Amino acid sequence: MSYRYLNNSGVTSRCLLGVSRHLHKVGEVKSVEAYDYHTIRGGVPVTNTRVKVKGTLGYAAFIGLNFGYGGEGPNGTRQLLIRLGVPNALVDVPLSRVGYKWQTPTAKNNVPIMAWTLHKEGEAWRLESTQK
């Protein structure tokens, strides 16, 4: 894996532009991962979400695509998954946090970290969902 692209704008429209410009450079797509992670921004602990597309030639990661609510970020992720050929019946499953005990992230609680991966096996996609 040698190609690496990170769009950390946090803006869905900019991420989708990055998808158009860089997705083909990762080669044949093998998986799409989405995960929450903790970081410090301006001295304040925050939780962000990243969507990463891994291919045979590298990866492209996007902070600005999201999941778990009905906003612009998850709609951007939906557009990405449709573009990759993920079947419609599977597209909305990883975009939801239904079935998980989700807490609003704050510096005072131990927040469960959500993650999911769509694996491409031949022409089929398989969803693996975890709560770390």
The residues facing 37 across adjacent strands are: 48
pLDDT digits (tens, 9 = 90+) for 95-132: 765 544 444 343 344 444 567 889 999 999 998 876 54
Give the integer Cα–Cα distance in Å for 15 and 50: 11
DSSP 8-state secondary structure symbol assigned to residue 78: H
Element (H, E) at 120: strand 114-121
> What are the residue ranges spanned by the domains of the chain?
3-131
Quote the crossing angle between the two packed helices 72-83 and 12-22, to the nearest 10°: 20
Q: Residue 85, SS3? A: coil
pLDDT digits (tens, 9 = 90+) for 29-87: 999 998 888 778 888 888 788 899 999 999 999 999 988 777 888 899 999 999 999 99
Number of CB atoms found within 10 A of residue 106's CB = 10
Give the integer Cα–Cα distance in Å for 8 and 34: 14
pTM for the complete prediction? 0.82
Give the integer Cα–Cα distance in Å for 19 and 71: 19
